[in-house]
Structure 1
Amino acid sequence: MARRAGVSHQTVSRYFTRIEGLKPATRQKIEAVVSELNYRPNLVARSMRAKRTGRLAMVLPSMPNQMQSGLLAMLATIVEAEGYRLEVVTIVGDAPTRADRVLELATSGGFEGILSLSPLPLDPARSPVPVVTTADYDDRMQSQGDLADASVVREIIEHLAALGHQDFFHIAGPQTHTAAQNRRVVYERTIEELGLRSHGVADGDWTGRSGYDALQALPAATAVTAVVAVNDRAALGAIRAAFERGWRVPDDISVFGWDDFDMGRYSTPTISTVAVDREGRARVAIQRLIAAVRGEEPPEIHHGPTNRIIIRESVGPASNGSSRAVEAGRRSFIPVC
């Protein structure tokens, strides 16, 4: 590689160990050869020479769900680009048990750093390698802290009220989840504070089926014109039920979701939702770990809002509900799941 780039072996080594001071032209030469050869550093050889493993561990308290699996894939890509390999380690048990196991990993010599996405009662000074923890997930890998913040539910309801909606319905999630609890609490409080009308809260389980069943259970002559669903799956289920009942979305009833799932961007209608910046928070955590492993200053944290409202086709001005007096097969939007 050094010969192909026309530089010394020491210069190539400095490039891969990210030592500052290389001229931009020299760096570009090496990068061109790396791209041409599709070169990846040999982490085993590196560890033999420098007593490094090139391995970072991510510790989880339980198996990740589908959404979190995508998050881990993103983090693995970031770590690989920095010349490391990310290995996911699932450690079940309470926080003290997991902290003891993390210390075992830290002293094993197999990892240069460890990231835990849930809090650990661990004194970093006891670990021979950097350990970075976040408070974004609990022992069951359920969102907590900022990721479970539900304050934007008020903004959703205020937006719908500004469109003329007065009659609301909430499709909730399991109340064993902090995020679902918070969304229900903010929904009920906001409805009361703004003097609006709630026609109930349906207990759901995050699934499209729960949203479908909840909307099917509403009486034919319901005054509800706005549905606030716990997530996009429940919102899609509600939209399907509305279609089957001859209710047009958003002409007869508006539906709001949460999580900005990919399917909601391409359904008909597209789902108004809340985008949660899980990726941004996890990216900051892994960057902090890499900096600590290298003995560098931690990166500056520029957190934008964790939750961001996205208005799409499933929300519109309130109707008078007259078109729902007879549940005929009036079609407007046909949901595509």
Structure 2
Amino acid sequence: MAGVRRDGRPAVIGDVARLSGVSNQTVSRVINERPNVREETRRRVQEAIRQLDYRPNLMARGLVRRQAHTIGVIGFDPVLFGPASTLLGIGRAARAAGYGVTIATPESSGRGGIVEAMADLASHTVAGVITVFASRAAATSALLSLPAGLPAVAVEASPDDSVPTVRIDQAEGVRMAVEHLLHLGHRTVWHVSGPRERLDAQARVEAWRTTLERAGRLAPQVVPGDWSAESGYQAGLELAERRGVTAVFAANDHTALGLLRAFSERGVRVPRDVSVVGFDDIPEAGYLIPPLTTVRPDHEEVGRRSVETLLRLMDGQDDAAGAVPRVVPTLVRRVSTAPPPG
């Protein structure tokens, strides 16, 4: 039974971390009597525990201290190429390290479904948890519902800096895509975005706008999408009716696929009339008509680094809670981009 704060809410490990000015992982190491914690830090955490009357969940501590050889993964949108490829990287890296993988997929993105999925993971006696491509709200619900002392790593989104987060360098990937189109001679680049609630989608919007502004170009209004070919198709129908559209950066390759279909139906030739760049380099990208120029993020490397970081946390290494270098994408040039008409 956890201690209770003055506001009536049970104290959780995050409350102790905030009061003592350390990370959740450091609190966990103090609770579990791990080494590599400075004595002054240990005393500060213990004082915060006393002030908050925080009582660690002894059952959860028992689970953590067992020699579990399974990594838990909570996956969001696992049918999409990025999350699916990241899960593949996690599986391969975990097996190489001698760990199995248990994957939980919430029935819904609501807090109740996420907490239930995390409880299911904890019941499997996992050694640590990785959240894959959640929104910030979903990542917060997932990570804050974990038992005290259970190491965790996030992919792309986390509630705060206390959770190590492995990210793709979205800004660099988008910069390469937009600058490629500008160097071809296009005056500006339109953007069909991903879901508003997703941090990676919003990072691409911000990087697209920033790259245009740095080049002294006006950024058109964002055309909203949701990662799907359907949203790309609808955006393509809209853009085909606009004058002056010569270049489009799609938030992902499935969005670009829908764009290509809509442009074809409306008699807009790619790349003669409009150039299109995607993001992800799905296996089919080179076989679209025309073959798609796109940004290739190494999702499997994201998965590998997630496991590597989690293993270091599980081993009590202090530096694992620090910043994790971002995975830098590459630009794959194919046939869907060309200089503007005229």
Fold-level match, TM-score > 0.5?
Answer: yes
SS in 2 for 1:218: helix
Matches of 2:324 and 2:240 in 1, distance apart? Answer: 48
Matches of 1:231 and 1:63 in 2, distance apart? Answer: 14
Alignment TM-score, normalising by the size of structure 2: 0.61
Matches of 1:228 and 1:104 in 2, distance apart? Answer: 38
Matches of 1:178 and 1:297 in 2, distance apart? Answer: 27
Alignment deviations for residues 84-104 of structure 1 (CA, whole Å, 9 cap, x no partner)? 322224578769x969x6799
Alignment deviations for residues 137-158 of structure 1 (CA, whole Å, 9 cap, x no partner)? 358xxxx873373343233222
Identity %: 29
Residues 148, 182 of structure 1: 8 Å contact kept: no
Residues 298 and 270 of structure 1: is their aligned pair in 2 closer, same or farther, counting only changes over 3 Å? Answer: farther
Residues 150 and 297 of structure 1: is their aligned pair in 2 closer, same or farther, counting only changes over 3 Å? Answer: closer
Residues 132, 285 of structure 1: 8 Å contact kept: no
Matches of 1:191 and 1:290 in 2, distance apart? Answer: 40
Match of 1:227 among 223, 248, 258: 248
Match of 1:60 among 74, 78, 84: 74
Q: Find the counterpart in structure 1 of residue 103 from structure 2.
A: 88
Matches of 1:52 and 1:201 in 2, distance apart? Answer: 50
1:177 paired to 2:192: no
Q: Find the counterpart in structure 1 of residue 154 from structure 2.
A: 134
Work out which of the two has the higher radius of gyration on C-alpha atoms and give 1 or 2.
Answer: 1
Matches of 1:187 and 1:104 in 2, distance apart? Answer: 37
Alignment deviations for residues 55-98 of structure 1 (CA, whole Å, 9 cap, x no partner)? 31314275634332343244223333443322224578769x96
Q: Find the counterpart in structure 2 of residue 309 from structure 1.
A: 331
Residues 62 and 206 of structure 1: is their aligned pair in 2 closer, same or farther, counting only changes over 3 Å? Answer: closer
Matches of 1:284 and 1:146 in 2, distance apart? Answer: 10
Q: Report how far residue 188 of structure 1 moved.
A: 2.9
Matches of 2:102 and 2:151 in 1, distance apart? Answer: 14
Higher RCO, Cα 8 Å, sep 6+: 2
Alignment deviations for residues 177-234 of structure 1 (CA, whole Å, 9 cap, x no partner)? 2222222233234334423355542222211122222222235572221111111111
SS in 2 for 1:134: strand
SS in 1 for 2:305: helix
Alignment of 1:98-113 (within 5 A): 105=122, 111=125, 113=127
Matches of 1:292 and 1:210 in 2, distance apart? Answer: 40
Matches of 2:121 and 2:220 in 1, distance apart? Answer: 53
Q: Report how far residue 134 of structure 1 moved.
A: 3.1
Alignment deviations for residues 109-134 of structure 1 (CA, whole Å, 9 cap, x no partner)? x646213335745999x63xx72423
Amino acid at match of 1:137: A
Match of 1:75 among 90, 112, 119: 90
Q: Find the counterpart in structure 1 of residue 36 from structure 2.
A: none
Amino acid at match of 1:245: R
Residues 169, 329 of structure 2: 8 Å contact kept: no
SS in 1 for 2:232: helix
Q: Report how far residue 252 of structure 1 moved.
A: 1.8
User: RMSD between aligned alpha carbons?
Assistant: 4.0
Residues 57, 89 of structure 1: 8 Å contact kept: no
Q: Report how far residue 258 of structure 1 moved.
A: 0.9
Alignment TM-score, normalising by the size of structure 1: 0.61
1:254 paired to 2:268: no
Matches of 2:121 and 2:212 in 1, distance apart? Answer: 50
Q: Find the counterpart in structure 1 of residue 128 from structure 2.
A: 114
Please identify, of 201-210 and 253-262, the stretch whose mean Cα deviation from structure 2 is larger: 201-210
